[in-house]
Amino acid sequence: MARPGAGLLLPTNGLGYPPQNLARVVVWEWMNEHGRWRPYSAAVCHHIENILKGDARGTAVLGQVDGQLSPYIIDLQSMHQFRQDTGTMRPVQRNFYEPSSAPGKGVVWEWENDNGSWTPYDMEICVTIQNAYEKQHPWLDLTSVGFCYLIDFNSMSQTNKQSQRKRRLRRRMDLAYPLIMGSIPKSQSWPVGASSGQPCSCQQCILVNSTRAASNAILASQRRKLHGGAAGNTGATGTLTAVRQSNTFAGTSLWSPTSSGTNNVSIGGGQAKGEQVQVPLSPANFPVMPSHGHNTLAINGQNNLNRPGTQRISMASPRGTIPPGVPALPVKNLTGSGPVHPALAGMTGILMCAVGLPVCLTRAPKPILHPPHISKSDMKPVPGVNGMRRKTKKKHLRKGKTPEDVVRRYTDKIKVAPDEDCTICMERLTMASGYEGVLQHKGIKPELAGKLGKCGHMYHLLCLVAMYNNGNKDGSLQCPTCKTIYGEKTGTQPPGKMEYHIIPHCLPGYPDYKTIRIVYDIPAGVQTNEHPNPGKKFSARGFPRQCYLPDNEKGRKVLKLLITAWDRRLIFTIGTSSTTGESDTVVWNEIHHKTEFGSNLTGHGYPDPNYLDNVLTELSAQGVGEDNVKD
């Protein structure tokens, strides 16, 4: 089964947007903390497009279309999504697909999570699945787009190739995404740097462009060999290992057969194994590109360039079957480990194969997630920190603080409102709040405006009440403009425990210090009124989770602040996992942790000289500063 192309993005004209004479489907997407683009629903995309037509520098209030998105607004000028109750900002982009693709037809593919609800795939994956479905393929392997899953269309199921766990799959029809014609304003193109017309210089694009150029030369050479007398291979028999080729290289998908038992190479650029298929050796299988000799090539292209960290390498022959004397090219991954640039290694490998030289690319190293086994007697308390564990229970409700009382406490009334916008409802401060008639209020007139005491930013008082009602209702308030926190901010972290101790091992980059290990453990349970779906069960994947800090002065300071954040229930929350797409599960809450002990291949390990300063900044943004550290 030939794998369908994973990307159906339209060609661009070098300015960051498609040609004017083509119709295309618009999908707005937001970037999560792992660099993956998640699509908004079709209804939300129609709403954003309507606002864009009226004002290319305007603001889209998502709650006007979807009640679950009421805290979110999108600033079309800066291309960012802003969450009003937490101050979190995320990039957004305007993506384009063919009208005949899944979003153009209103097709949505979803998988069933543990709670029995349905989670949609990323748009790229949805397009890939729909392509295979329309071509009546019996199955589809998602390895080449970064996911270790096998889709079976006969049983409508998704199977994890590592754990063999099977989940139900469904295809449903929804509103089609908006269809547009004409060019896009340059201010709306993504990424912004694409408008320069210069080729991208990032490592991913360098690798793909270099590999594409070299592969074109090889294909031309193979065509010449084909016309020069390839008839000698027509009687060959046996088995071939074919590695699938994506549509990154211009033209249709290519199959490059490699004879098993010979010196083969499959070039990608990263960490995961590619998809391999055993097919009979027959001239009918490969009428265009028959095998010549014993040194052949299979190229595994990259079709996911807009998502960092998804490059992968495919080995056509097992590591143990490499013949003696075959040179190994050490390929570094995109995080910077390794002596050879991936583009240089990829081009070298392709060109060596083209002239008949054997090549073997080394496998990417595996991350070291945990330290060696440690006995309980070797775990020591952290000096200056009381105890070795913390527990959290259910939220204690604070009585006597209505939303109106909280807003009045932190704001000052202004006699004459300035003629400027309220950045919550986007109405003028001299006019009534946009929440007039929508929100029940006690003693607060819709036209009243107030100024926050510390930062001085001004809003409708009714808008501040609405923002507070969308948050945790913990007696604190956060300015949506500068993110200044008023009061003590608390979160919605479910009950669990936190342990911390010193272990006798060193982190990379800190050879003179031992390590502080933090262990978080939160069990699954039932959501309460402060969570997205009260009364519904939530899952807790990957617990207990182990995190690491250097045992130095700054590392101990970070630990004390993390303990304070834990007590305020700010470390975790319940939401949708950005890695698996599962909803109603325990996820990290904007405070990054290092979960990789002995390496930094995933970006969540050491060495990272800026991590401690960065996490101090993140804690301060949550209202956890040095002035309220608990000893």
CA end-to-end span of the chain, whole Å? 62
Looking at the structure, tell me whether residues 54 and 171 fall in a common domain. yes
Q: Is residue 286 part of a domain?
A: no
Does position 189 have pLDDT exceeding 60, yes or no? no
Average pLDDT over residues 542-547: 93
Query: Which residue, of 123, 156, 180, is where some domain finishes?
Result: 180
What is the pTM for the complete model shown? 0.48
CATH number at residue 556: 3.30.390.130
Looking at the structure, tell me whether residues 502 and 618 fall in a common domain. yes
Query: Which residue, of 480, 512, 531, is where some domain finishes?
Result: 480
- Please tell me the least confidently modeled range out of 56-60, 108-112, 278-282, 377-381: 278-282
Give the Cα separation of 258 and 314 in Å (integer). Answer: 13
Angle value at C-alpha 518, between 515 and 520, nearest 5 degrees: 165
CATH number at residue 460: 3.30.40.10
Report the Cα 139 to chain-centroid distance in Å. Answer: 25
Looking at the structure, tell me whether residues 80 and 165 fall in a common domain. yes
Does position 259 have pLDDT exceeding 50, yes or no? no
Looking at the structure, tell me whether residues 509 and 575 fall in a common domain. yes
Give the Cα separation of 156 and 161 in Å (integer). Answer: 16
Q: Which pLDDT score, from 0 to 100, does residue 369 have?
A: 85
Does position 191 have pLDDT exceeding 70, yes or no? no
- From the list 519, 574, 515, the residue with the least C-alpha distance to 547 is 519
Looking at the structure, tell me whether residues 31 and 140 fall in a common domain. yes
CATH number at residue 175: 3.30.720.50
Looking at the structure, tell me whether residues 53 and 163 fall in a common domain. yes
Looking at the structure, tell me whether residues 475 and 516 fall in a common domain. no
Q: Name residue 241's amino acid.
A: T
- Please tell me the least confidently modeled range out of 52-61, 334-343, 411-420: 334-343
SS3 of residue 122 by DSSP: coil
Average pLDDT over residues 185-191: 39
Q: Is residue 223 part of a domain?
A: no
- CB under 8 Å to 252, separation ≥6 — which residues? none
Task: Please tell me what DSSP assigns to residue 69.
Answer: G
Q: Is residue 8 part of a domain?
A: no
Q: Is residue 87 part of a domain?
A: yes
Does position 41 have pLDDT exceeding 70, yes or no? yes
- From the list 159, 75, 113, 36, the residue with the least C-alpha distance to 423 is 75
Handedness of CA 86, 91, 92, 98 (dihedral sign): negative
427 contacts 434 by C-beta, under 8 angstroms: yes
Q: Is residue 357 part of a domain?
A: no
**Boundaries of domain holding 576:** 496-628
Q: Is residue 204 part of a domain?
A: no
pLDDT one-digit tens code per residue, 522-544 = 999 999 988 889 999 999 998 99
pLDDT one-digit tens code per residue, 312-329 = 333 333 334 444 444 444
- Please tell me the least confidently modeled range out of 10-24, 71-85, 182-196, 368-382: 182-196
Q: Who has greater pLDDT, 562 or 583?
A: 562
pLDDT above 90 covers a percentage of the chain that reads 32
How many other CB atoms are found less than 10 A from the CB of residue 398? Answer: 11
Give the Cα separation of 294 and 506 in Å (integer). Answer: 48
Q: Which pLDDT score, from 0 to 100, does residue 347 have?
A: 60
Average pLDDT over residues 171-195: 63
- Please tell me the least confidently modeled range out of 117-126, 153-162, 226-235, 526-535: 226-235
Average pLDDT over residues 484-492: 89
Does position 310 have pLDDT exceeding 60, yes or no? no
Q: Which pLDDT score, from 0 to 100, does residue 603 have?
A: 82
Q: Is residue 30 part of a domain?
A: yes
Average pLDDT score, the chain: 74
Q: Which pLDDT score, from 0 to 100, does residue 258 have?
A: 38
Average pLDDT over residues 341-369: 63
How many other CB atoms are found less than 10 A from the CB of residue 483? Answer: 16
Average pLDDT over residues 492-501: 95
Helices 342-354, 203-227: crossing angle, 10 deg rounding: 10
pLDDT one-digit tens code per residue, 501-511 = 999 999 999 99
Q: Which pLDDT score, from 0 to 100, does residue 357 have?
A: 66
The domain total for the chain is 3
Query: Which residue, of 480, 513, 542, is where some domain finishes?
Result: 480
Give the Cα separation of 411 and 486 in Å (integer). Answer: 10
Does position 18 have pLDDT exceeding 70, yes or no? no
Task: Please tell me what DSSP assigns to residue 196.
Answer: G
- From the list 515, 493, 506, the residue with the least C-alpha distance to 588 is 493
Average pLDDT over residues 618-623: 90
Average pLDDT over residues 213-231: 53
Looking at the structure, tell me whether residues 31 and 148 fall in a common domain. yes
Looking at the structure, tell me whether residues 608 and 500 fall in a common domain. yes
- Please tell me the least confidently modeled range out of 44-53, 179-188, 303-312, 581-590: 303-312
pLDDT above 70 covers a percentage of the chain that reads 65
How is 513-567 classified by DSSP, letter by letter? S-EEEEEEE---EE--TTSSSTTSEEB-TTPSEEEEEESSHHHHHHHHHHHHHHH
Looking at the structure, tell me whether residues 530 and 417 fall in a common domain. no
Q: Is residue 604 part of a domain?
A: yes
- Please tell me the least confidently modeled range out of 45-54, 166-175, 375-384, 401-410: 401-410
Looking at the structure, tell me whether residues 505 and 567 fall in a common domain. yes
Q: Which pLDDT score, from 0 to 100, does residue 358 have?
A: 61
Q: Which pLDDT score, from 0 to 100, does residue 301 have?
A: 36
Q: Which pLDDT score, from 0 to 100, does residue 442 have?
A: 67
Does position 195 have pLDDT exceeding 90, yes or no? no
Q: Which pLDDT score, from 0 to 100, does residue 211 have?
A: 44
Q: Please tell me which of 176-190, 259-273, 456-470 the model is most confident about, judged by mean pLDDT.
A: 456-470
DSSP H or E stretch at residue 26? strand 24-31
Looking at the structure, tell me whether residues 170 and 100 fall in a common domain. yes
